[in-house]
Each structure stands twice: as C-alpha cells, then as structure tokens.
Amino acid sequence: MIATMGEPGLDLLSRLWEEHMRAPFPPHLRGREIEGEDLVLLDADIAGCVSSSLSGSLDGKRRRILLMCLAALEKVLPSIDDEGDAIEYYERLREMAALAVELGNANAR
C-alpha cells in the first residue's frame, strides 16, 4: 500500500493520522489482549511513534518499536472481531506504522 515516499508519503501519513485522531478506540477492545498483545498499548505505542515521525525524523528506537508493533499487528489482526470499526482502526494503525518506517528509511538514505 506504500507506493510513494517523500512529500506524498508524508501527506498520506498526515491524513491517516488525522483520521486516527478522530476515530474512537473500539470500546470492546479496551483491556483485551490477543496473542499476548495488549491492544491499548499497541495503539499507544504506534500513535506515539507516528506522532514523533510527523514532527521530525524517526529515530532508531522508535523505528524498532514500530517494527515490533507491525509484527504484533500481524498476529492480532486475524483475531480482531469487527464489532464497530475495530478492524479498520487496527488496519489504519498498521498502515501508519509501515508508512512511518518507510518514510524514516527514505530520510535515512
């Protein structure tokens, strides 16, 4: 899904971030763990790193956090029930995390 980097990629990340900030956290997932992953913490970790990425370059620590979060998302997404917009919420998180990593990689070159 990540086809462009640079300004178009940053614009897409900004748009996704705005959508995410307007979206309520799926209430039925509060306090839930799937495959040993705390869903609230996963959301918070990705949001913090994406926010940092939008304010400047992504440092190595946050890049590693996002890569771990992407691996966690691959485990939990198949088990998220789509009550409300839960799947859309976590797929957007996955897209933002992947885009922030790719933008960070492009800026590091």
Q: What is the pLDDT of residues 39-90, one digit of tens each?
A: 999 999 999 999 999 988 789 999 999 999 999 999 999 999 877 799 999 9
State both tokens at 60.
């190595």
pTM beyond 0.75: the answer is yes
Over the stretch 15-29, which tens digit does the pLDDT of each residue have? Answer: 999 999 999 999 999
Report d(CA 92, CA 12) in Å as an integer. Answer: 11
The domain tally of the chain equals 1
Gap between the Cα atoms of 99 and 5, Å rounded: 8
In a 10 Å sphere around its CB, with 0-12 CB exposed, 13-18 middle and 19+ buried, how is residue 5 labelled?
middle
Quick check: is 1 in a domain? no
The answer to whether residue 16 is domain-embedded is yes
* Residue at 30 is within a domain: yes
Q: What angle do CA 65, 86, 36 make, to 5 degrees?
A: 45
**Range of the structural domain that residue 21 is part of:** 7-108
Strand extents, DSSP E, the chain: 33-34, 37-38
